[in-house]
Amino acid sequence: MTSPDSTTSTSGGASRHGGTLITGACGEFGHGLIRTLYDAGHRDIIALDVREVDASLKPMCRETIVGDITDTALLSRLHANYEIRSIFHLAALLSTRSEFNPEAAHQVNVVGTMHLLKLAVDEAMSHGSPVRFMFPSSIAVYGVDSLQAKARAGAVSEDQCLEPTTMYGCNKLACEHLGRYYARHYRQLAKDRPSGEARVDFRCIRFPGVISAFTLPSGGTSDFAPEMIHAAARGEPYACFVREDARIPFITMPDAIEALLRLHAAVATRLTRSVYNITAFAPSAGEIASIVRSHFPKAEITFRPDIERQGIVDSWPEDTKDAAARADWGFKPQHDLQAAFEEYLIPNIKAHYTN
Ligand code: SER
């Protein structure tokens, strides 16, 4: 494998196109983000995923690429062809899937991220301006060792309880540090280290569980909430894999995307940290089931906890503190729990499954 060529600024003599790179383009976050960026007038999207990008999204992208973020030759080609100003690095193996193959998770979640951070450095150095590197981290970076500790911790700040019990959480926490390193200290002893404007501008949000009305996550541990809602809308029974009292924070997909774009657009001097918590509502699984039943009276929801997956949810905090995101870049979710269901989830899910 070759490494990205940091001096290349042209491709075959032609000047490079501007580009906004989105990795994990086929994931539910990628879908929503591509549509939102396209609707906002972006015509420079380069979508990368290990799977073929949906036919409906292709016309919204300048280029769609089937490939792996650990393929450095592919990233070199991107560097040769594009002047990338922003990277939304969404590709990851989620928390449940990562527990079945932690080494593969490390490759994708950490090594892949490092390659993209290196691409960002090379891009910044070749065009002489910062590359915004948007990174979704997760509540999985937290770890409490008992339900008592979870209750005691309550809503946690960015700096508390950072002892994750999952590979995914370890990977995300490692990448938060790598992002800070590449942004502020990369090759700090080398004479030709990045300087001035030519730098990586790493910005990270720790997301709670995300719920979309249109897509389902795959391989996560917060999946019980979206799975329960979508199963009810499809008229299918659902056995929830956590206890009724399991509680973690959530946010709707539109609010999650809006947050990512708001942080991306924020003036750098307003940012007091590189990693921000955000949260919107924090119901228990039982509370979610009651709301789902009130909208779908025939919903058949049972609780059949899977001890291991329940253990992961028990290690995550019941909520997070997001005062810094609100103060620094104006984070303000549109949907609280009631609005999430009444204004976003229920109308859209019903329309989605009846069409
Ligand atoms: N939704 C993620 C997962 O469950 C957590 O951020 O893996």
- Residue 194 is predicted with a pLDDT of 83
Same structural domain for residues 197 and 270? yes
Specify if 247 maps to a domain: yes
Q: Which atom of ligand 1 is nearest to the CA of 95?
A: 7
Integer CA distances (angstroms), 147 to 152, 159, 182, 222, 318, in order = 8, 20, 36, 17, 10
Specify if 42 maps to a domain: yes
pLDDT tens, residue order, the chain (355 aa): 223 223 233 434 457 889 999 999 999 999 999 999 999 999 999 999 999 999 999 999 999 999 999 999 999 999 999 999 999 999 999 999 999 999 999 999 999 999 999 999 999 999 999 999 999 999 999 999 999 999 999 999 999 999 999 999 999 999 999 999 999 999 999 988 888 888 999 999 999 999 999 999 989 999 999 999 999 999 999 999 999 999 999 999 999 999 999 999 999 999 999 999 999 999 999 999 999 999 999 999 999 999 999 999 999 999 999 999 999 999 999 999 999 999 999 999 999 998 7
Nearest CA to 257 among 49, 36, 24, 21?
Answer: 36
Same structural domain for residues 114 and 234? no
Domain residue limits at 99: 7-208+253-277
90 Cβ inside 6 Å of ligand 1: no
Same structural domain for residues 55 and 72? yes
Q: Can you give the CATH number for the domain in which 240 is found?
A: 3.90.25
- Residue 2 is predicted with a pLDDT of 28
**CA gap 323, 330 in Å, rounded:** 10
221 Cβ inside 6 Å of ligand 1: yes
Specify if 329 maps to a domain: no
Same structural domain for residues 233 and 164? no
Same structural domain for residues 121 and 246? no
Specify if 330 maps to a domain: no
Q: How far is the centre of ligand 1, averaged over its atoms, from the C-alpha of 3 (Å)?
A: 31
- Residue 13 is predicted with a pLDDT of 46
- Residue 157 is predicted with a pLDDT of 98
Same structural domain for residues 258 and 349? no
Q: Can you give the CATH number for the domain in which 106 is found?
A: 3.40.50.720
Q: How far is the centre of ligand 1, averaged over its atoms, from the C-alpha of 219 (Å)?
A: 8
Cβ–Cβ < 8 Å for 61, 46? yes
Hey, what amino acid is at 215? T
94 Cβ inside 6 Å of ligand 1: yes
Specify if 322 maps to a domain: no
Same structural domain for residues 232 and 144? no
Q: Which atom of ligand 1 is nearest to the CA of 166?
A: 7
Q: Is residue 152 classed exposed, middle or buried when 0-12, 13-18 and 19+ CB atoms within 10 A define those classes? A: exposed
- Residue 14 is predicted with a pLDDT of 58
Hey, what amino acid is at 231? A
- Determine which helix (DSSP H) or strand (DSSP E) holds 241, and give its type and residue range: none
The model carries a pTM of 0.94
171 Cβ inside 6 Å of ligand 1: no
Same structural domain for residues 284 and 272? no
Same structural domain for residues 94 and 181? yes
Specify if 2 maps to a domain: no
**CA gap 273, 180 in Å, rounded:** 10
Same structural domain for residues 244 and 261? no
225 Cβ inside 6 Å of ligand 1: no
- Residue 1 is predicted with a pLDDT of 28
Query: Which residues lie below 8 Å from residue 216, measured CB to CB, with a gap of 6+?
Result: 28, 223, 226, 227, 230
For 265-284, b/e burial (b = at least 16 CB within 10 A) is ebeeeeeeebbbbbbbbbbb
Cβ–Cβ < 8 Å for 119, 78? yes
Integer CA distances (angstroms), 141 to 93, 95, 99, 161, 208, in order = 14, 11, 14, 8, 11
Same structural domain for residues 187 and 55? yes
Three-state secondary structure call for residue 250: strand
Hey, what amino acid is at 58? K
86 Cβ inside 6 Å of ligand 1: no
- Residue 328 is predicted with a pLDDT of 98
Specify if 172 maps to a domain: yes
Specify if 321 maps to a domain: no
138 Cβ inside 6 Å of ligand 1: yes
- Residue 193 is predicted with a pLDDT of 86
Same structural domain for residues 258 and 272? yes
Q: How many domains does the chain have?
A: 2
